[in-house]
Chain A
Amino acid sequence: MSAVLQLSNVVKAYGDLRALNGIDLALPDDSYVSLLGPSGSGKTTLLRVIAGFEQPESGAIRFSGKDVTHTPPHQRNIGFVFQNFALFPHLSVYDNIAFGLINRAVDPVTDMKLVDRKVRDMIALVGLAGLEDRATTQISGGQKQRVALARTLVTEPQMVLLDEPLGALDANLRARMRSELRMIRERCGVTFLHVTGSETEALAMGDTVLVLDRARIAQQGDSDTIYNRPCSPAVARFLNCYNLFAGRMADGGFASAQGLLGFRGEPQKAADPAYAIRYDRIDIRPAGASAAADEVQIEGTFIASEYTGSAVNAFFSLDDGKVFEVEAHLSHRAPDNYESHKRYALAWKKEDALVFA
């Protein structure tokens, strides 16, 4: 697969604040890429720089073989789907979708029959048939989302940027739009770069997942790698499925506030040392139970649990006040009842732990 978009050492600063601090990335052609990052990590800035709404201070952007660093947005042929949809409020659904074809500066379509055919095809593709003449104020959130997408796709961009496209939709609709977005992308055969703050959305949608942390790309890989082998404590934290302990390497383990924690294998290189264990790899036992040789065991006080349908999340308070989370999948075992303020032993296999040093 060839790279459709390539960023090298892109820096964007607002005053003293560096919103993007040397971004290097290459996105494959014809794939769904999701970009995960907490708010304030520079996600939207990165998209705006790629689209051309912001000029980077330094670095280069190559798009389908050409340097587009200083190309204005309307000549880049990169589609942008806005978080708030940004539909033209005075135009109908049909005219919103036809806007780009008729009004673009490069190669506008003057044959109205051709415009009509393309717009109708696109309306059918995104499932908006029958709503052509509605005003954009008379349609629902999900329909607005489709208009915004159709308006961009009809101009046949070589790449589409989506800025938290599902953020404004309710949970039900979000789940449905996820699979629809993937389906629409497959039919168009262009690269989608989908920005999101939700780790489940990023993992579910992306063929490739990028994790943005403090204005840099922290990790790039497929969902499985990102989830099981996060490359830094920060990435592990965004995934929202790891208990993390700070500390340092010591003889025979990792020295933390909970004592010496054992692990197998070599620690991964990272700037700030940490010990991570996934929520769903932990066994809860009565206090004082003995641990096997290949296990690590600590103790904590049960606080509360949260039922999510397919799993129960139990929260424990460790001796230093840190909250420790355990996820028990209900398909594996029936939930135990734990007593509040009672101490329990929390054990996991040494080989399940990830260590960064």
Chain B
Amino acid sequence: MTMTAITEETETGKAASARPSGKTLWLLAPGVLWMLLFLVLPLAMMLYVSFWTQTTFKIEPTLTLKSWVTFFTSETYLGALWTTVRIWLIVLVATIVVGYPAALFVGLFVKNKTLQTVLLVLCVIPFWTSFLIRVLAWRPMLGKEGAINMILMKIGVITQPIEVLLFSELSVIIGMTQIYCVFMVGPIAFMLGRIDPSIIEAAKDLGAGFWRIFRTIILPLSMPGVVVGAIFVSVMVLGEFATSAALSGRKVNLLGNIIVTQVGSLKWAFAAVAGVVLTILMGAVVAALLRVVDLRKEL
């Protein structure tokens, strides 16, 4: 009698652990509600609005492909799309080139855990100031009469100030690389810090030199960090508008800048088209990056 009671109890217990019961599903309710109201609904709305009819002064819910056709035939919009992709790729490569060696130093060659943490916190210090100040601080740095030009002229490397430094694509790339580099350094340093030092010693003992060990052991084991960092940087750079607005003198127009100006002039349908294109682009980029490494297996 007692035996059967116990088996019944364990069986119901098993069922509960295998499949969440109705009661526990309620824990998801606030999150699901929030996401539905403030993420899924606006996304659907954006997609819907992109098919509305836009006239100069008002927008009507009559479905049309006009805004989409305008977007994909206009040189301005396609140019912005291409600029976005180009700047994203350059900034992504730049953050890896600048960030990976720094992460390698912090994550692998700094043995002291406290010092490691201190160095990573140092990377985050720029974030203690506001985004706008960080971006604007580049102006006195890169300008025609800015610090870099002044120093280069003083030591006689150049006679004319380099004008391309500010209000150009270069200044946008310099600014973005500086701002987003830390998002690359963090995940890579974390993955490198997790590598068991005895694995590297084992590789040495088996006769491999440093570059061999880097290529065959360290790099593959740090790839999940590179992918996570690349996702962070990509999502932020693709959605950028402030850095390019502040440092390019409106010469560089990203999809983000297009959305801002379209919304500013109440062209909701065009803004929605650009928004949908940008969302799809981001989704594709993240999906492609996740293909590189199976994060579920690696983390």
Contact across chains for A74 and B209 when beta carbons are under 8 A apart: yes
Contact across chains for B196 and A74 when beta carbons are under 8 A apart: no
Q: Which residues of B contact A78 (CB under 8 A)?
A: 205
Min CB gap A104→B, angstroms: 3
B207 to chain A: closest residue by CB: A104
Contact across chains for A74 and B207 when beta carbons are under 8 A apart: yes
As a 0/1 sequence over residues 69 to 88 of chain A, the CB contacts with chain B under 8 angstroms (1 = contact) are 00011110111101010111
As a 0/1 sequence over residues 143 to 164 of chain A, the CB contacts with chain B under 8 angstroms (1 = contact) are 0000000011001000000000
A90 at the interface (CB under 8 A from B): yes
B199 at the interface (CB under 8 A from A): yes
Contact across chains for A79 and B205 when beta carbons are under 8 A apart: yes
A51 at the interface (CB under 8 A from B): yes
Main secondary structure of the interface of B (DSSP, over half): helix
Among candidates A84, A103, A106, residue contacting B203 with C-beta atoms closer than 8 Å: A103
B201 at the interface (CB under 8 A from A): yes
Contact across chains for A103 and B206 when beta carbons are under 8 A apart: yes
Contact across chains for B209 and A84 when beta carbons are under 8 A apart: no
Min CB gap B89→A, angstroms: 27
Contact across chains for B205 and A73 when beta carbons are under 8 A apart: yes
B40 at the interface (CB under 8 A from A): no
B16 at the interface (CB under 8 A from A): no
Contact across chains for A53 and B201 when beta carbons are under 8 A apart: yes
A334 at the interface (CB under 8 A from B): no
Contact across chains for A86 and B201 when beta carbons are under 8 A apart: yes
A262 at the interface (CB under 8 A from B): no
Contact across chains for B212 and A82 when beta carbons are under 8 A apart: no
As a 0/1 sequence over residues 202 to 219 of chain B, the CB contacts with chain A under 8 angstroms (1 = contact) are 111111110011001100
Contact across chains for B207 and A103 when beta carbons are under 8 A apart: yes
Q: Which residues of A contact B196 (CB under 8 A)?
A: 84, 86
B221 at the interface (CB under 8 A from A): yes
How far apart are the CA atoms of A103 and B199 in the complex, in Å? 14
Q: Which residues of B contact A84 (CB under 8 A)?
A: 196, 198
Q: 9 closest A-B pairs (Cβ-Cβ)?
A: A104-B207, A100-B206, A86-B198, A86-B202, A105-B209, A103-B208, A80-B205, A74-B207, A73-B204
